[in-house]
Amino acid sequence: MATKRKVPDNPNSELIDFLNELGEYEKNVSRAIHKYNAYRKAASSIAKVGHRIETIKDIKGLEGIGKKIEAKIEQYLSTGKIKKLEANRGDETGAAITQMTRIMGVGPAHANKLVQQEKIKSIDELRAHPKRNTLLNKTQQLGLKYLEEFEQKIPRDEMKEMETIILCEITAIDDELKAEIVGSYRRGAKASSDIDVLVTHPTATKLSSFLHKIVDLLTEKVAFITDTISIGDSKFMGVCQLENTKLHRRIDIRVFPSEQYHCALLYFTGNDQLNRQMRIVAQEKGYKLNEYSIQKVGSTGVLSKPLPVSSERDIFDYLQMDYKEPNERNV
């Protein structure tokens, strides 16, 4: 089965990993996304419990834990195992499909093809396969190349070092450029999965030239970006490395005009649950909220022009929600 990322410093990390593994099987093998989401939500709820769960009473009332998942947790608490998980692990085809989906860019359908049609049963077999480069596109080839490195979390200290390099090179292009590292790092996480950078400028409306300059500098001048996955007018996806002794990391850089920036900042800071919650509140109050704007929805469904937003706080105010600092957004 896939190597799982352990939840650091959590007293219930094994249970969380088990639930996530069950979810991955449902997504990748059974293709039951609703079950995957249910396991993911349950794991997220348990991650917030600050003490070791010893009895089923400890999870009573937790959001996202229905009767079926509760029964599996009870099995785990009683025996240290979950029968369905043991059965999944015994499914060789399912295990092979899950292995393939560890690779960046390989979804369940492609994984199924690799296993069922090409008879590839492991990552090692794929790496040794004579048709590997025709079976995988460029993104997937990079995903296979750096698989084990991408699976390692990035410690906060390393994130800070990378932030210093990125911001220094961006402001060297134009001192009015503003950039922030978002995602779990901005929420204060001790470790992150990748680097997600947002960039804006107070007056420029066409930012694609800035994006290309940023990528060129980080590639050629400081040898920080090692591989390009894709680059367009508003988004770069690639691979970076702090120095030769460090692991390769995934990096995305997005540019937004100033009028969209704070909606983007809110969205890409997350977390996912807060984003969903705010979209629901927006809909209930007659707004449409996404990573680009907040708009009023008219009685006939026609959207207004984007409302003026000069800070994340403005968005909370429109929705009449209490403002949350980034480190309070791990809902």
- 223-262 pLDDT per residue, tens: 999 999 999 999 999 999 999 889 999 999 999 999 999 9
Can you tell me whether residue 175 is helix, strand or coil? coil
The residues assigned a catalytic role are 72
Asked if 196 contacts 209 with a C-beta cutoff of 8 angstroms, the reply is no
Chain mean position to CA 44? 14
Chain segment 305-322, per-residue pLDDT in tens: 999 999 999 999 999 999
Of the two residues 61 and 211, the one the predictor is more confident about is 211
User: 205 pLDDT exceeds 90?
Assistant: no
**Class of CATH domain 1-90:** mainly alpha
Chain mean position to CA 112? 23
Mean pLDDT calculated for residue range 111-137? 96
Q: Which two tokens stand for residue 234?
A: 């508003």
Four-point Cα dihedral 205, 209, 211, 217, nearest 10? -140
Helix (H) or strand (E) holding 199: strand 195-200
Report the alpha-carbon distance of residue 94 to residue 163 in Å, rounded. 39
Span of 14-18, 117-121, 263-267 with lowest mean pLDDT = 14-18
Q: Which two tokens stand for residue 76?
A: 């785990």
Report the alpha-carbon distance of residue 297 to residue 283 in Å, rounded. 9
Chain segment 139-160, per-residue pLDDT in tens: 999 999 999 999 999 999 999 9
Q: Where are the domains of the chain?
A: 1-90, 154-255, 275-328
SS3 content of the chain, % helix, strand, coil (to 5): 50, 15, 35
Radius of gyration of the chain (CA): 22
**Class of CATH domain 154-255:** alpha beta
Asked if 39 contacts 23 with a C-beta cutoff of 8 angstroms, the reply is yes
Asked if 286 contacts 279 with a C-beta cutoff of 8 angstroms, the reply is no
Q: Which residues are registered as beta bridge partners of 232? A: none
Q: Which residues are registered as beta bridge partners of 236? A: 231, 253
Asked if 181 contacts 189 with a C-beta cutoff of 8 angstroms, the reply is no
The bridge status of strand 248-255 relative to strand 195-200 is parallel
Question: How confident is the prediction for the chain on average, in pLDDT?
Answer: 93
The bridge status of strand 235-241 relative to strand 248-255 is antiparallel
- Residue by residue, DSSP assigns 45-111 as HHHT--S---SGGGGTT-TT--HHHHHHHHHHHHHS--HHHHHHHT-HHHHHHHHHTTSTT--HHHH
State the pLDDT confidence band at 9, using cuts at 50, 70 and 90. low
Distances in whole angstroms, Cα of residue 207 to Cα of each of 117, 227, 260, 264: 44, 22, 12, 15
Q: Which two tokens stand for residue 140?
A: 């997937």
**Yes or no: domain 275-328 corresponds to CATH 3.40.630.10:** no
